[in-house]
A = this chain, B = another copy of it.
Amino acid sequence: MPKVSQRGDEMTQSPIRSLIPYARRAKEEGVQVYHLNIGQPDIETPAAAIASLNDYDHTVIEYGASEGATDLREVVRDYYCDNVSQIDLSDIYVTTGASEAISFTLFSCFDSGEEVIIPEPFYANYIGFSHTSGVRLVPVTSSIDTGFSLPSPKAFEQQLTDKTKAIFLCNPGNPTGNLYSANELREIAKIVKKHDLFLIVDEVYREFCYDDQFQSVLDLKGLEDHVVVIDSISKVFSACGSRIGFVVSRNKSVMNNILKYAQLRLCPPMIGQHVAQACFLDRSSYLKEVKAEYNRRRLYLYERLSKMEGVKSYLPKAAFYIMTELPIDDATAFCTWLLSDFRMNGQTIMMAPGDGFYLNQEHGKRQVRIAFVLGIRELTKAMDIFEQALKEYQAVVANQTQQSYSYR
Is there a chain B Cβ closer than 8 Å to A145's Cβ?
A: no
Question: A6: which of B49, B111, B198, B239 is its contact (CB, 8 Å)?
Answer: B111
Interchain CB contact (< 8 A) of A270 among B5, B110, B241: B241
Interface residues of A in 284-306 (CB under 8 A from B): none
| A271 proximal to B (CB < 8 A) | yes
Partner of A271, one of B53, B100, B108, B196: B53
How many A residues touch the partner, as a band?
35 or more
Pick the residue among B9, B47, B60, B263 that contacts A43 (CB under 8 A): B60
Task: Tell me the minimal C-beta distance from A348 to chain B in angstroms.
Answer: 21
Q: Shortest beta-carbon distance, A63 to chain B, in Å?
A: 4
Q: How far is the CB of A215 from chain B (nearest CB, A)?
A: 21
Residues of B within 8 A of A111 (CB): 5-7
- In the complex, A173→B108 CA distance in Å? 31
Closest to A265 in B: B99
Q: A41-B60, A45-B60, A96-B265 are in contact. Are A7 and B128 (CB under 8 A)?
A: no
A129 within 8 A of B: yes
The answer to whether A241 touches B264, judged by C-beta atoms less than 8 angstroms apart, is no
Closest to A66 in B: B17
Q: Which residues of B contact A241 (CB under 8 A)?
A: 61-64, 267, 269-271
* Residue A149 lies at the interface, judged by CB distance under 8 Å to chain B: no
Q: How far is the CA of A276 from the CA of B240 in the complex (A)?
A: 19
| CB of A132 closer than 8 Å to a CB of B | yes
**Chain B residue nearest to A272 in the complex (CB):** B269
Could you tell me which A residues sit within 8 Å of B by CB distance? 1-9, 11-14, 17, 38, 40-45, 47, 49-50, 53-54, 56, 58-64, 66, 96-97, 99-100, 103, 107-112, 114, 125, 128-129, 132, 165-166, 196-198, 225-226, 238-243, 251, 253-254, 256-258, 260-261, 263-272, 275
